[in-house]
Structure 1
Amino acid sequence: MDKLRALQYLVKVADTLSFSRAARAFGVPASSISRRISDLEAELGVALLHRTTRTVRLTELGALYLEQVRAGIARLTDADELVGQRSSTPSGPLRISAMPSYGQLLLMPALQDFADRYPEIVLDVHLSDALVDLGRDQIDIAIRGGRQPQDRIVARKLDPNRFMLAASPRYLAEHGTPQTLDDLQHHRALMYRGPNAVIKWQGLDEDGWREVPVTPAFISNDGAALLAMARQHRGLVLLSEWGLRTALHSGELVPVPLAQPLSVNRGGEAGIYLLYLQTRYQIPKVRVAVEFLLNRLGPGAGEDPPG
């Protein structure tokens, strides 16, 4: 029995919860997937999967077993890829996951230049706010906002991700400019929908952080759509400074400073992070992408050099 192949099949079945999807990933019949895993179960003397005519899932022992072998399989795959690319031009598929707004506004323009520089790297870009597991989801690089990620992942900070309240000059002329958190309840709010819920606005006053009651006029999980509505004088928008930069520079939107801090989280260190596994950084395609994106999007990127 080819035990390594059986383990690779087991990992894919566990991740997809489907023999047929695993079979398509490897380009083999589903019966081959099932037979190899059955041989592995026979060798171990335990059932790794619960099978029914409609579903497949790991047994309790199967989950424990997979947890132990997954990291080893990932390291072996990385080692094979590293040796294969050691003496060659960076090439092959590169999977990148990024938040939709950041991806559209900043990442995609940078990747157009990256593709020109490294034409043999095939970019596979997924825009989503959902959390990712770099190893399990086979993502080479992720860009996410929030707190400092877990220790096993290398996290390089791209931006402090400060939030700013903004509106069009016409909207403020027609509806007035809010001065305090309490003033916001009389205004129309353009609000962002996260993976699980609408992101509430949080304000800091003398009693601490609290949710600020506002009246939603438009809700979307697309930052570009929120910007477009703000440009059309439809309400106040609370977005990251990097997302507002172009509209502020053109004068289509202006900052709306308040007497108290306003954000989408209750303080603490936050940021936009470029995430990758240290073991994969040694692979040329991953290394050149990390360094390129840090130079293009990281702190100080785009600033004029001192004269």
Structure 2
Amino acid sequence: MDRMRALQYLLKVADTLSFSQAARAFDVPASSISRRIADLEAELGATLLHRTTRAVRLTEIGALYVEQVRAGMSQLREAEELLGLRSATPSGTLRISAMPSYGQLLLMPALERFSDRYPDIVLDVHLSDALVDLGRDQVDIAIRGGRQPQARVVARKLDSHRFVLVATPQYLAEAGTPENIEVLLHHRCLLYRGPHSLIRWQALTAEGWQELPTVPAFICNDGAGLMAMVLRHKGIALLPGWSVAGYLQRGELVRIELAEPVSVSRAGEGGIYLLYQAGRYQVPKVKVAVDFLLAALSQPD
């Protein structure tokens, strides 16, 4: 039995809880996936998966086994890539995950310059708001906004994640500039839809944080789409400061200052973080990418 292949199949089934999805990932029949894992179970003398006609899930011992296998496979990949230390030229595929808006606006221009400097590195960029597990998802570098992560990763702050209310001068000339949240609620509010729900605005009032009962004039799950509507004078949006800085400097947008702070979260502004696993920094392609992106994207608070 090809133990390595069986383990790869097992990890994919554990991630997807589906033989058919795992089969599509490896471009093999689902029966091959099932048979290889069954052979592995027989060799180990343990049941790793509960199978029914409708679902598949890990057994208790299967979950523990998968956790150890995943760690071992990650170490094996790192050991193989460390062989590249003998080469003076960083190379290989570099997998990067980033938030769509940040990726399109700031990361991609930086990666164009990075690619010119390191042509032997193949960039595999995935733009998504979905959270990633660097080890499980085989991602070398992730860029995410929020509070500083605590577990198992190195987090280097690139920028603040402060949200600001903005609109065009034309919109404000026609609709007026709100000075408090009561007036704001009568304006056309453009809202962002996150991966799981609509992102409601929060205001810090004298009574504490409260969710604003805005009636959305427009909703979009794409930051570029939301920005386009703001620039077409369609209303007021609450956007990250890093995404609107250029528009504010050019006078295309105006920042709206209210008596009460407004944000998308009650937890504070957070930051934009570049994330990577400490052990992976020894791999040449990861090291040069981390160093380059920190120099290209880091902003003073």
TM-score by length of 1: 0.91
Question: Cα distance 1:117–1:300, how it changes in 2: closer, same or farther (>3 A)?
Answer: farther
Counterpart of 1:235? 235
Counterpart of 1:102? 102
Write the distance in 1 (CA, Å) between the matches of 2:54 and 2:93.
33
Counterpart of 1:305? none
Counterpart of 1:129? 129
Counterpart of 1:265? 265
Counterpart of 1:138? 138
CA contact (8 A) 1:201 1:264 kept: yes
Query: Matched residue of 1:219: which SS?
Result: strand
Structure 1 position 75, deviation (Å) = 1.0
Structure 1 position 66, deviation (Å) = 0.8
Counterpart of 2:87? 87
CA contact (8 A) 2:178 2:256 kept: yes
Counterpart of 2:214? 214
Gaps of 5+ in 2: none
Counterpart of 2:159? 159
Question: Cα distance 1:60–1:120, how it changes in 2: closer, same or farther (>3 A)?
Answer: same
Cα distance per residue 1:9-41 (max 9 Å; x no partner): 311222233445545655666555444322321
Structure 1 position 55, deviation (Å) = 4.6
Query: Matched residue of 1:65: which SS?
Result: helix
Which residue type is aligned with residue 293 of structure 1? L
Counterpart of 1:304? none
Write the distance in 1 (CA, Å) between the matches of 2:19 and 2:269.
43
CA contact (8 A) 1:231 1:252 kept: yes
Counterpart of 2:36? 36
Counterpart of 1:282? 282
Matched, 1:250 2:258: no
Query: Matched residue of 1:186: which SS?
Result: coil
Counterpart of 1:192? 192
Which residue type is aligned with residue 195 of structure 1? P
Which residue type is aligned with residue 122 of structure 1? V
Structure 1 position 6, deviation (Å) = 2.8
Structure 1 position 108, deviation (Å) = 0.8
Percent of matched pairs sharing the same residue: 69
Q: Which range moved further: 135-144 or 263-272? A: 263-272
Counterpart of 2:67? 67
Counterpart of 1:45? 45
Write the distance in 1 (CA, Å) between the matches of 2:19 and 2:211.
46
Write the distance in 2 (CA, Å) between the matches of 1:136 and 1:257.
43
Which residue type is aligned with residue 272 of structure 1? I
CA contact (8 A) 2:163 2:269 kept: no
Query: Matched residue of 2:142: which SS?
Result: strand
CA contact (8 A) 2:95 2:125 kept: yes
Which residue type is aligned with residue 60 of structure 1? E
Which residue type is aligned with residue 234 of structure 1? K
Which residue type is aligned with residue 112 of structure 2? Q
Structure 1 position 293, deviation (Å) = 0.7
CA contact (8 A) 1:95 1:140 kept: yes
Question: Cα distance 1:35–1:89, how it changes in 2: closer, same or farther (>3 A)?
Answer: farther
Structure 1 position 183, deviation (Å) = 1.3
Counterpart of 2:11? 11
Structure 1 position 94, deviation (Å) = 1.2
